[in-house]
Every structure is written in C-alpha cells, then in structure tokens.
C-alpha cells in the first residue's frame, strides 16, 4: 500500500498539507491519515470581527473532515503521545498509528491559566480574549454593554498567533466606539511586551503612527505578570500597573500538550523545532512541522502555513525518494491589517526583509504599508479564498511561497 503519512492536526496547516499531497502525488505511493480531536474547523481570522458584530460565530465553523480530500483518512481522537523511536502515534482509546512520515500541524494553544489571575474572578466579566470563539462571543456582549471607561488591549507575551490581530482589535475598537458616538468617553490603551508597536522597525513606525493618529495610547515593554479582575488592574513583571474597566488579553501561547509528552519532539514551549528552510526536524528526518506548531522565527499566521505548504509537500516527496531537500522556505508572510473605517493596510515580509512600502505582488498591485479600501476588500475576499483555494491546496495565481522583491521600495537609512 506504499508509505503511510500521518498528519497531526487538521487546522489550516494540516488540511492544506493533506490536500496538496493528495493532489500532487500518486496515491499508489502512499496513504494519508489526518488526526484531530474534534470536528470544528474554525476560520480564525474571523474571530477578530465577532466582538464588533461584524461576523457571526456560526459562519466561522465548518466540519473538519469535509475540508479534506475524500481519499484522506480522518480520525477524530485525542493524541496521547508520539514515540519517535518506534515511529508510532498513540491515540486515546488504545489506537496506534505507525508512520513513515509524520507532519506535526497541531497549531498553538492558548494558555490563559499560566498568567496569575487571568482566569480568576473577572474572567468573562471584565476580562476577555477574542482568540477563541467563546471569548470572542462573550466580548461581543461585553462591548454592547460598555458605555465608557478605559479599555486595555494587552499582549501577554510572544510568540502569538497572528501578531497583528491585537493591533487590528485596537483600530476596530476606535472605529466601533466612534460609530456608537461614545469614543470621547473611552480611553484606549495598547500594551505590548515589545519595545514598539510591532517587531519590524518600518512596520512598527507605520503602525505606531496609526495608533497615535487614532488617539490610542501605546504602552511598550509591558510583560503581563498578573491580572486583578475585581480590582481592574493589569500588573507587569516589573510591577507597573495599568488600571482598566475592560481588559482584552491575548494569553500566552504554547504548542499542543502531547508534544510535551513526546520525548525529543518539542522545545520548552511545546513547539516543534525544524530547519527554518526545509521544515524538517533536526534529529528525526522523517518528522516535519508546519504552521503555528513549528518552532520557527516566522510569523504564526495562516499565510505562512500556505507558503510553507508549497515547500513542505515538495520536501516530503523528495524525502521519500531519497533526494536532498529543498531549502527554499524564506519565512514569507503577508497580512492584511484591518484599520477600521472600511480600510486596511497590507504588509509582506520574510526572515530577512522587513515589511516595506511599495506594492504586492508586483509593481502593479495592492499598496503596501498604506491604508486603502482595496486592502480592506482583500481582507474580506480572503475568507472565500481560504475555504475554496487555500484549504483545498490550490495555488493562488501569481503568489508563490517565495517573497516577491519586485515592487518593493527598499529604504536606506
């Protein structure tokens, strides 16, 4: 029956990997099994819009196996652990899966309980996150009731999924309160452990400028140590305090729990270390990781999984054929940053090149690092592309895994 490929996780990364493999490789060469613990595939970029009533939660969820090619075997079960020496995955209920190639695509999980007080009194009352569906829905109701005071958007620590989403929340909150006519009664604060609004200097300057233009206070080098819900205080590790009436916290992230139970698979945060250009595990050549589960210096965003997928599928085929791997993944990421008022800006970058002004994907294209209605429409259009092109493993015309240099303006400082 050929080789057995096991993919752990059927979110963005796992689904597009399975479908790309099934589309591009001969079925006689291998069979694919995908494992996940539930049936709900959530369109995570849509979570940002739920608190503001701009998306309905039930529209963001679809059945996991229905996104997979019919030839892919789907198993719904909890993953207990991986034995790398035996090349076996142990699932709940005594199920064992032996593999020739293993792809870890179980994403990142939220760890709110790791921050003192975050899930204590106040959680779901005046302290929320929009990074999961129940939190986003709860925050929607809280915002509807909110009639003034201080709203603090806080990033607990790095790494996190979709690093621009907390900034987008701040921008949309400004717009939301303006639409309700109470912006003058609301103080918006954005707190981050970074020393600027974003990781890359040019983008940080542009995004920090937008915060300032919208009257959103920026608090840098604030690493969350404790949340006091009843007292309405966020406390940093260096004991600075920020009072709030409503706190929107992006919790600590880690890899999947089973990674920690699988000797030799992950790092101290339960992410899976891989070569940054081939996506192959350094110690176990038959193991690969993709998407948020991978311990890479790349952004944890859906676009990255898409670009990684192209290289990963090519490398799995090369690995099975005994050929050297293609070390071509360059950390390419691009993100539409929603800025409110039916506008967004687009950033495009990789390991070595920070977000720069210009156009994407070439000299004639969407403007980069500049607010436009076209970028907002691009963000909205992405949802259709996600379900109908990205997940099925189809190529997006004119957009390859390598970051395009054409159309970018390099800045000389």
Q: What is the DSSP string of 157-210?
A: SSS-BSTTHHHHHHHHHHHHHHHTT-GGGEEEEEE-SSSSSSSSHHHHHHHHHH
Instruction: Residue count of the chain, please give it.
Output: 413
Token pair for residue 304? 């990255």
Cα–Cα distance for residue pair 118/151, rounded to 1 Å: 16
Q: What are phi and psi of 161, to 5 degrees?
A: -70, 140
Q: Quick one: pLDDT band at residue 29, thresholds 50, 70, 90?
A: confident
Name the one residue in this structure whose structure tokens are 């590790």: 237
**Taking the CB of residue 182, how many other CB atoms lie within 10 A of it?**
13
pTM value is 0.96
pLDDT band per the 50, 70, 90 thresholds, residue 147: very high
Give the pLDDT mean for 319-334.
95
Alpha helices in 321-395 (DSSP H): 373-385
The arithmetic mean of pLDDT across residues 66-77, rounded, is 96
Residue 412 confidence (pLDDT): 54
Q: State how far Cα 171 lies from the chain centre.
A: 19
Report residue 413's pLDDT band, with 50, 70 and 90 as the boundaries. Answer: very low
At 264 the three-state DSSP class reads: coil
Check whether 9 has a pLDDT greater than 60. yes
Q: Is the pLDDT of residue 392 over 60?
A: yes
Strand duo 88-91 + 40-42: pairing:
unpaired
- Asked if residues 36 and 65 have their Cβ atoms less than 8 Å apart, the reply is no
Q: Average per-residue pLDDT in the chain?
A: 95
Distance (Å, rounded) from C-alpha 399 to C-alpha 219? 36
By percentage, how much of the chain surpasses pLDDT 70? 99
Torsion (CA) 9, 11, 12, 14 in degrees, nearest 10 = 20
Predicted local distance difference test score (pLDDT) of residue 30 = 86
Cα distance between residue 337 and residue 342, in whole Å: 11
Does a cis peptide bond (omega within 30 degrees of 0) precede residue 361?
yes
pLDDT in tens, 166-199: 999 999 999 999 999 999 999 999 999 999 999 8
Whether the upstream peptide bond of residue 159 has omega within 30° of 0, thus cis, is yes
The pLDDT score that the predictor gives to residue 1 is 59
pLDDT reported for residue 364? 83
CA dihedral for 189, 193, 195, 197, sign (positive or negative): negative
pLDDT tens, residue by residue, 266-285: 999 999 999 999 999 999 99
């Amino acid at each position: 029956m050929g080789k057995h490929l096991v993919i752990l996780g059927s979110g963005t990364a796992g689904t597009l990997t399975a479908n790309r493999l099934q589309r591009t490789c001969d079925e006689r060469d291998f069979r694919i099994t995908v494992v996940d613990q539930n049936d709900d595939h959530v369109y995570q970029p849509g979570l940002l819009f739920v608190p503001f009533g701009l998306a309905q939660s039930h529209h963001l969820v679809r059945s996991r196996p229905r996104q997979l090619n019919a030839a892919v075997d789907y198993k719904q079960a909890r993953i207990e652990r991986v034995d790398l020496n035996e090349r076996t995955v142990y699932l709940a209920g005594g199920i064992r899966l032996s593999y020739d190639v293993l792809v870890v695509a179980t994403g990142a999980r939220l760890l709110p309980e790791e921050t003192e007080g975050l899930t204590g009194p106040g959680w779901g009352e005046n302290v929320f996150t929009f990074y999961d569906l129940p939190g986003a829905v709860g925050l929607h109701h809280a915002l509807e009731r909110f009639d003034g005071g201080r709203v603090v958007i806080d990033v607990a620590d790095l790494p996190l999924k979709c690093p621009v989403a907390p900034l987008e929340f701040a921008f949309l909150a400004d717009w939301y309160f303006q639409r309700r006519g109470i912006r003058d009664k609301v103080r918006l604060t954005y707190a981050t452990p970074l020393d600027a609004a974003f990781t890359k200097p040019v983008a940080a300057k542009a995004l920090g400028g937008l915060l300032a233009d919208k009257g959103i206070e920026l608090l840098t080098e604030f690493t969350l140590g404790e949340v006091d819900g009843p007292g309405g205080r966020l406390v940093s590790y260096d004991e600075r305090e920020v009072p709030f009436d409503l706190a929107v916290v992006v919790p600590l992230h880690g890899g999947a729990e089973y990674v920690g139970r699988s000797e030799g698979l992950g790092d101290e945060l339960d992410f899976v270390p891989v070569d940054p250009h081939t996506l192959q595990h350094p110690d176990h050549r038959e193991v690969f990781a993709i998407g948020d589960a991978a311990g890479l210096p790349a952004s944890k965003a859906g676009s990255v999984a898409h670009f990684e997928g192209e290289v990963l599928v090519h490398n799995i085929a090369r690995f099975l054929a005994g050929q050297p791997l293609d070390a071509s993944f360059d950390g390419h990421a691009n993100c539409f940053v929603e800025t409110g008022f039916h506008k967004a800006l687009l950033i495009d970058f990789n390991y070595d090149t920070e977000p720069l002004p210009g156009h994407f994907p070439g000299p004639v294209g969407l403007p980069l690092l500049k607010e436009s209605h076209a970028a907002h429409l691009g963000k909205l259009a992405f949802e259709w592309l996600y379900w109908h092109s990205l997940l099925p493993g189809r190529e997006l015309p004119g957009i390859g895994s390598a970051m395009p240099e054409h159309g970018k303006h390099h800045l000389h400082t």
